[in-house]
Amino acid sequence: MSDRVIETKGLNKTLGQGPAQVEALRHVDLALEKGSMTLLMGPSGSGKTTLLSILGCMLTPTSGTVKVCGNLIETADAETLADIRRRHIGFVFQSFHLFESLSALENVQIALELRGITGPRATAKAVSVLEDLGLTDKVQAVPAQLSGGEQQRVAIARAIVSEPDIILADEPTAALDGPTGQSIMTVIAGIARRQKSAALVVTHDVRLTSFADRIIEIEDGRLKAGRVPPVTKERLRVV
């Protein structure tokens, strides 16, 4: 597999029908490579979440091509798309999506069980990732016993425990205070670079641009030319 793990060409997505029909994405050309942190920024309704959903194999395009780790998405059936999600993609959501009745450890183990990894091996791997994210003393805690930042770290642990090729994050810091959000971005950027994953983070927060290798803006479903931000102390210390 090449370093390019996601590639779209002429991607279009139309939502709705009749008078309510909307061109959510228009002629989107995009490539994401291993070990990179890309921010996707734009106003509400600009197509960010739709694009993230297609790249995450939860939606298929109306036209154009989408390759995820060499797999053509537009011609794949539901079973194939689910398999690609399991094998290649880790999701980090704004609202955490943790199971309230399960411990942090159990929430992370679920991602491994979906890939057929169970028993002591799954436990050891999940504990190791939680410890790496500073949650050593929270392994057995349920979400109600965790702060917002701790819950987001559990969600990140679940997303990366299987060492995915792609990390997709939808507003992962929106529900967090500034320092906690910066900490979460340090974690995501560090994981992308250490594990050689391609990370795409949807955000409105301009403070997060200091972590990015590339910033892409989207408006009315169209991508603007990407830009490379200046090297910052945040990028230099994320290894």
Q: Which of 93-107, 200-214, 215-229 has the lowest mean pLDDT?
A: 215-229
Higher pLDDT, 137 or 235: 137
Q: Look up tokens 């990015």; give the residue.
A: 212
Q: Which residues pair with 22 in a beta bridge?
A: 15
Indicate left, alpha or beta for 181 from its phi (over 0: left) and psi (-120 to 50: alpha). Answer: alpha
Which residues 6+ apart lie within 8 Å of 140 measured at CB?
A: 103, 104, 105
Per-residue CA distances from 167 to 21, 212, 239 (Å): 30, 14, 16
Per-residue CA distances from 159 to 93, 167, 220 (Å): 10, 7, 29
Domains and CATH numbers, the chain: 4-237 (3.40.50.300)
128-148 tens-digit pLDDT = 999 988 899 999 999 999 999
3-54 tens-digit pLDDT = 899 999 999 999 988 888 999 999 999 999 999 999 999 998 899 999 999 9
The average confidence (pLDDT) of the chain is 90
pTM more than 0.85: yes
